[in-house]
Each structure stands twice: as structure tokens, then as C-alpha cells.
Amino acid sequence: MTSRTVPRDTASEKTLGFEGAEQTLDFEEALKRLENVVRLLETSELTLKESLELYRQAMALVKICQERLDQAQHSIEEIEADFSDPGDNEKLGN
């Protein structure tokens, strides 16, 4: 088995290695990078060290995706609150 270098463009240090840089990734980009990392983990002959690094990157990307989904959910709740009928609460006894 030959040693291969983990491609750095999947979830690279330039994105995840600098504090705060992950804040610039939107959901779609983070998901795309996560899919690439998973593909590498599933199809590549990697060393244990390379696999662990990719797993770390994958978990960081999962966290970013979850944060973006949570933000979207919060936005939806705010929009629904803005357009809800204030009388609805009175009808329900609230």
C-alpha cells in the first residue's frame, strides 16, 4: 500500500484550520465538502492517520451544516411569527 497525501481541497486547513474561517462557509458548500470527505473515506486507501484527519474534518463540517440548519429553522420560526394572526393565540386560550 502506497502512502497518499490527503487532498487538502476537500475540507482544507485554509477553511477549517483558521479560527473563524468556517463561518464563511454556507450550508451548500459545507455539505459539498462533507460529501467529498465521505467519498474519500469510502473509496480511498488511506493510512490511519489520514483517515483520522478526514474524520476530524467531516465532524467539523457536520457541525457547520447543523449550525446552518438551526439558523434556517430559527429564521422560519421568526417568519411564521411575523405572519401569524395574533387572534390565533386567543382562540386557543393562550
Q: Is 23 exposed, middle or buried (0-12, 13-18, 19+ CB in 10 A)?
A: exposed
Q: What distances in angstroms separate CA 27 from CA 4, 90, 92, one per listed residue?
A: 29, 38, 37
pLDDT at 11: 37
Query: What is the residue-averaged pLDDT of the chain?
Result: 79
What CATH number does domain 13-84 carry, 1.10.630.10, 3.50.50.60, 1.10.287.1040, 3.40.50.1220?
1.10.287.1040
Using CA of residue 23, residue 27, residue 29, residue 34, what is the dihedral sign?
A: positive
pLDDT tens digits, 25-67: 999 999 999 999 999 999 989 999 999 999 999 999 999 999 9
Residue 23 has pLDDT above 70, yes or no: no
Burial of 33 (0-12, 13-18, 19+ CB in 10 A): buried
When pLDDT is averaged across residues 55-80 and rounded to a whole number, the result is 97
